[in-house]
Amino acid sequence: MQRLPAALTPFISEICDRKPANLFNHLYINFNLKTMSHMKTQFISLLIALLAGLLPLQAQQVSISGIVTDKKLNEPIIGASVVVKGTSNGCITDLDGNFQLNNVASGSTLVVSYIGYQTQEIPVQKGKTSYQVTLSEDTQTLDEVVVVGFGTQKKVNLTGAVASVDNKKLESRPVTSVGQALQGVVPGLNVSIPDAGGKLDANPSFNIRGTGNLGTGSSASPLVLIDGVAGDLNQLNPQDIDNISVLMDAASAAIYGSRAPFGVILVTTKKGKQGKTSISYSNNLRWSRPTNIPDMLDAYTFAQYFNRAIDNTGSGEAHFFSDITMDRIQQYMRGEITTTADPSLSQNGNCFAFNQNSNDNQNWPRNFIDKTAFGQEHNVSLSGGNEKIQYYVSGAFLSQDGQMNYANDNKKRYNASARISAEITKWMRLEFNSRFIREDIGMPTFLKLYGDRFFAETTKLHPNMPLYDNNGHYTRNPKLMQLTSGGRSNTQDDTYFTQGSLILTPMKGLTIHGDLALRTGSFEHLYNVARVYLYDKDNNPIPEQWLGGDADLAAGKTWAYSEQQRETMITTSLYADYSLNFLEKHNLKVMLGMNSESYRYNNVWAKRSDVMNDNNPDVNTSTGTQSNGAYRGEWSSLGYFGRLNYDFDGRYLFEFNIRRDGSSRFQADSRWATFPSVSIGWNVARESFWEPLSKWVNTLKPRFSYGSLGNQNTDSYYPTYAIQNVTVGSPDAGGRWLLDAANKSNIAGAPGLVSSLLTWERVYSYNYGVDFGAFNNRLSGYFNYFIRDTKDMVGPAQEISPIVGAEAPKRNNTSLRTKGWEFQLNWQDRIGELNYNIAFNLSDSRTKITEYPNASKSLSTYYTGQYLGEIWGYESVGMAKTDEEMAAHLEKVDQNTIPGVTLAASGWKAGDMMYADLDGDGKITNGENTVDNPGDRKVIGNDTPRFRFGLNIGAEWKGFDLSIFFQGVAKRDYLLSGMVFWGVDGDAWSSTGYKEHWDFFRPEGDPLGANVNAYYPRPLWKSNQNRQSQSQFVQNAAYIRLKNLQIGYTLPKAWVHKIGLERVRVFFSGDNLWTGTSINKNFDPEALYQNGMTYPLSRTLSCGVNVTL
């Protein structure tokens, strides 16, 4: 048995001699020995002992002692918990496994427990004072099963790379989707924030083990199966999930063939268990705020910033903000005037002059997103059963308000599920599983259709622009009219799933499964574009354009839109597995089966202008131009599969998988393919020679797997016939269509070229791993190293003569290699009544292009040898602090030759950037824009997230529970651009000014204050000479985030039983509470899409209760 340091012997021995009250005193003394006198210590000990003696004495109380040993090793167990059941009277065993307890009543029960062992309950017999307790190894670890493809396997016998997540990781998290709760939980399962940020209709995306393809022609997303049927993980109610298995390597996923080349996420929902009926209710009330809100400069400082940028340029251009406007701004900020706009100006006709000469002092980011959004979630479930029938029924409701002011966006989700299992005979079981999901999302049409444009437009707002005009109406540029009265978008997405299963066990060892599942979906999207108005200075309404640059959204235009889509998916599976044990130590399991999927969808939409009534918008009640369309699609697949598992005495493990797949997405002569995989493992810790080490390392299993898979998750780059486009013209055109352009006949265009050579995309995967456990599996974990080759991806077509009249078809001519690793480490233990656990995971991957049709290695596209995520740019020498320093640099390097540079009239001066001449030709150029001749550019970073990690710390003590979860990325480069980063990014209407931007170069003696060690170079109006892609402004986008903190308390059973309840837990939880990062403060490191111009993520506080009857 493991030994603790000898210095702890007196500490542990004394603990076993003390009551809990004295234990507190002992800890107090040991930690404060240097500061307390011996006399004071003895006094406190005596006082506590006297107080303990005042407790009511129980009859026939005795002192008992004993020893706790390991039944198998016959060695003492150190630190085992010995507690009188139902009391706080207890201790832990010392270094020799001994314990002693005082004041133990006859007839009570001792509860003896230790991590990794089965708990023992020992009755205290009258007259007996010495006890010898033996604890057996907890076989739950050995018998733990993991859900794999079409079945389960003992975790100890797994040879593939499989990670599991139980439902405790999802419990009570204030999230709107399962994906949010999985981020950072499983190493190698990468959960990415959507481009739309925290927008209510956006969900996280997944990939397993990094980038799998280049996004041309196919998808590299993992296959998500919910109870064996493809589905949307983010629509599930997290409380309905029992466990999640992530199949990472080809050996684990091969059983699913061409639908799973990039891994599988298997979700198993809860089912009923034998026992009395249990009714559970839980809720979660949450309040959310943005994780990050950048602050604008105040209006006067902003005006100084813009005017300084114009002065720096040296063009002689007049200041953007006149002295009169700046005086008005100051007067308004001092409270001397109350109007925010020049009353002589109107937005109508010249809104630029109106905005430029206004004098408000808005902080626009806070104006739009500084909001506390409310959300709530309620769950109820009913489960139970007897030996013959078990059932589980649940319902849930979620409502979440959006994070934006003025938008009134909201998401509602309704979940209902039912699952029943019935034993018809001893050899036949029927199971029925059904689930219904509805998602309703409402938001302004402007936010739904033009969310990116909205955030880009509102970022351009200047703080002097007023929120209201002088008559109290919203002004034009904030787009508040579009948000509040410009029309609404409403989507309703219904999914219904039903599944029937028949399980037969006609003989020992043989099980036959038959599954039939139907998933139907119905999607409806309705939106309208309503009239919006500006008001002139006399308060007269004037129709305003809804959005510039689109004739359909011109002033006074209205639209109604209706779209409906239906989808149907039928999945069937029939498989049988047979288990056999022979010659005592040989274990064999064989599975054979087939699986088919059939998917269909159809979509129709209609759109019409000139809505008669904006309060009741509908295509049928519109009178203007109408357009409509429809499309449909279908595919099907059929696969035959088999799996062979063999182990000898649980030591030598072997698994072979094979699948023969056919897919309708390919031509008939290339429709079928075969995908094999093999894996082996060795349970070293079960060998006899390992016996002396088993007391320290009790699990050690190296393993290896290899497999090949195809990818049928393709798109329209795989046509199997030529497509002829048809343009519908006027039926009255007749023979006049050549002369009358207004009346064209139906025209059929020439079909595009297709390739008969397009074939399967292939994925080859190698995995080297080891599972380990030590100290009776209190310490456990695994390590995986993998190589994944993706070959024959669809890449660019070769160039052909334009005389052909069509582009050449795509070809299978691109390949990738991804290398990486995953590491998981868990520790669980107990100190007295304190149970605690620590889990840490870390993973990394890099993807390199091994084949791409780019012979010249042009940097304008992908090239062979490129690592995905590379950032190319100039190497910054630094920021010149004086004109002399810049002049000395320009004597050696000509920076006017930078391709595409817009130079300021003032030229290069102090406060400008100096670039390195890497090729030594005396000027800054891009060379031939190739890898071999990039000019003065080089790789200055890589924006692929590296070293993703998660750290979870949990503890339980006397009904209290605590969970702290950190998640992050340890290495990532990012090159930001745009106005949120640079501030002045061109002219007035493509620039802004946040507080971060005030940290720009100003020389000694500058009236705005010197700042020679500034972060930003001097701002330049309409010049990009300092804003080139360069090394100095590559951001360190690594971060660590307190993803979740949860504190709960489970009420004592004695309390809740009195009111007829089984269990009551209250909790407080928070998500995204703190972020540590060095990235520019204007940005959230998880929401960098569109350079920060996106819907904000949320920081959430919540509380709730879990009640079980």
pLDDT in tens, 769-783: 999 999 988 999 999
469-499: pLDDT as tens digits:
888 899 888 889 999 999 999 999 999 999 9
Closest CA to 767 of 257, 248, 266: 248
Question: What pLDDT is attached to residue 138?
Answer: 72
Task: Give the model's pLDDT for residue 41.
Answer: 45
Give all domains of the chain, ordered by start, each with its CATH number. 6-136 (2.60.40.1120), 141-288 (2.170.130.10)
More confident residue, 74 or 13: 74
Most confident of 69-83, 297-311, 669-683: 297-311
SS (H, E, C) 686-723: HCHHHHHHCCCEEEEEEEEEEEEEEECCECCCCCCCCC
- As a whole number, mean pLDDT of residues 375-382 equals 96
Rounded to an integer, the average pLDDT of 308-327 is 95
496 versus 62: which is more confidently predicted? 496
Q: Is the pLDDT of residue 48 over 80?
A: no
How many CA atoms are closer than 13 Å to the CA of 773, on its beta-carbon side?
19
**Res 458 pLDDT > 90:** no
What is the pTM for the complete model shown? Answer: 0.85
Q: With bands split at pLDDT 50, 70 and 90, how would you rate the model's confidence at 29?
A: very low
**What is the per-residue pLDDT for 806?**
58
Contacts of residues 319-325 at CB distance under 8 Å and 24 or more positions apart, as own/partner, are 320/356, 320/988, 321/356, 321/464, 322/357, 324/357, 325/356, 325/357, 325/358, 325/359, 325/464
CB 399 within 8 A of CB 411: yes
Summarize the confidence of residues 528-550 as an average pLDDT: 87
Indicate the pLDDT class of residue 666, thresholds 50, 70 and 90. Answer: confident
What distance lies between CA 922 and its chain's CA centroid?
Answer: 47
pLDDT digits (tens, 9 = 90+) for 989-1025: 899 999 999 999 999 999 999 999 999 999 999 999 9
Residue type, 501: S
pLDDT value of residue 347: 74
Q: Which residues, at least 6 apart from 34, have a Cβ–Cβ distance to it below 8 Å? A: none
Give the model's pLDDT for residue 54: 39
Q: What is the C-alpha R_g of the chain?
A: 35
User: Is residue 341 a contact partner of residue 359, using CB atoms and an 8 Å limit?
Assistant: yes
Q: How big is the CA angle at 191 (ends 149 and 850), to the nearest 5 degrees?
A: 80
Tokens of 93: 């065993």
DSSP string, 767-778: EEEEEEEETTTT
Going from the C-alpha of 316 to that of each of 313, 846, 883, 906, 1021, the distances in angstroms are: 8, 50, 20, 10, 11
How far is 850 from 863, CA to CA, in rounded Å? 8
pLDDT at 902 over 70: yes
Q: What is the mean pLDDT of residues 1040-1053?
A: 95
pLDDT in tens, 559-593: 999 999 999 999 999 999 999 999 989 999 999 99
pLDDT of residue 5 exceeding 50, the answer is no
Confidence (pLDDT) at 31: 36
The stretch 376-385 carries a mean pLDDT of: 96
Two structure tokens written together for 443: 């938001």
Looking at residue 561, its pLDDT comes to 96
Region 202-215 average pLDDT: 87
Please state which of the ranges 417-431, 516-530, 792-806, 1054-1068 shows the lowest mean pLDDT. Answer: 792-806
Mean per-residue pLDDT for 310-335? 96
User: How sure is the predictor about 166, in pLDDT bands with cuts at 50, 70 and 90?
Assistant: confident
Q: What is the pLDDT of residue 141?
A: 57
Region of 874 (left: φ > 0; alpha: ψ -120 to 50; beta: rest) is beta
Is residue 748 predicted with pLDDT exceeding 80?
Answer: no
Band of pLDDT at residue 744, cut at 50, 70 and 90:
low
Largest CA distance in the chain: 117
3-state DSSP assignment of residue 443: strand
Instruction: Please tell me which of 124-133, 322-331, 351-360 the model is most confident about, judged by mean pLDDT.
Output: 322-331
**In the prediction, which pLDDT does 805 show?**
57
pLDDT in tens, 67-95: 999 887 788 888 788 888 877 788 888 88
* pLDDT tens string 813-843: 899 999 999 999 999 998 878 999 999 999 9
The token duo for 315 is 């063009």
> Could you tell me what percent of the chain has a pLDDT over 70?
89
Please, which residues bridge with residue 793 across strands? 814
CA–CA distances in Å: residue 429 to residues 386, 511, 512: 14, 11, 10
